[in-house]
Chains A and B, each alone.
Chain A
Amino acid sequence: DTGVSQDPRHKITKRGQNVTFRCDPISEHNRLYWYRQTLGQGPEFLTYFQNEAQLEKSRLLSDRFSAERPKGSFSTLEIQRTEQGDSAMYLCASSSPPRTNTEAFFGQGTRLTVV
């Protein structure tokens, strides 16, 4: 198991274009999280899934953002009509069902630059 995998690692797009990121969690993990991190700030929670169900969405997740996890395995995060303010690192994390010793494992992130 190579951990949480994110693709692509870097994405440059023009303002107004749509982009989609993919996250492959650790195989037995049924919880999957998306975070956004801007320069100099800590990661901000966006949304999470339990299996294929999206259980909670942050108010940061505007209607231009949509996340899916169709079969409870990999997840995608799509941003429509990108804006310069969307430039950030998008991080994915996964965890097993919460127990005392559960921790979330993060991927290396996708760095989005909107020009």
Chain B
Amino acid sequence: DAKTTQPTSMDCAEGRAANLPCNHSTISGNEYVYWYRQIHSQGPQYIIHGLKNNETNEMASLIITEDRKSSTLILPHATLRDTAVYYCIVRVAGVGTYKYIFGTGTRLKVLA
């Protein structure tokens, strides 16, 4: 079962920052938070991940609260091409490796 909850949908104006929240209150101490996005009819695309420190890469920033019970993905200057479903995932331990357990995601629509 998914360990994350996200709003079903959000709108964002083009050029503005998109802030996508995620709750993961049952996350364990060694479980990472991952973000992926999925544009219609394509496979999920990796965005960013983190454990407890804030992270930034060329696509986005990830802010994780100190208690690790929630996080926010920030797209600093959203474009129309950022319209997609964004998944917040907790990577959990499986047998011999890790599993990525998806929830239902947030459908982000970037408006012109």
Q: Chain A: residues with CB nearer than 8 A to chain B? A: 4, 31, 33, 35, 40-45, 48, 50, 53, 55-56, 91, 93, 95, 98, 100, 102-109, 111
Contact = CB atoms under 8 A, between A and B. Distances in A.
Chain B contact surface mostly: loop
A96 to B, nearest CB: 11
B96 A91 contact: no
Interface string B46-63: 100101000000000000
Given A33-B100, A42-B2, A106 B94 contact: no
B97 A45 contact: no
Contacts of A107: 43
Given A4-B43, A103-B46, A105-B46, A44 B102 contact: yes
B99 interface: yes
B104 interface: yes
Contacts of B2: 42
B105 A56 contact: no
How large, as a class, is the contact surface on chain B?
20 to 34
Contacts, number: 61
B53 to A, nearest CB: 11
B45 A55 contact: no
B44 interface: yes
Interface in B35-81: 36, 41-46, 49, 51
Contacts of A111: 41
Nearest to B4: A42
Contacts of B101: 45
Contact of B99 (A4, A56, A102): A56
A43 B102 contact: yes
B112 interface: no
Contacts of B85: 42
Nearest to B2: A42
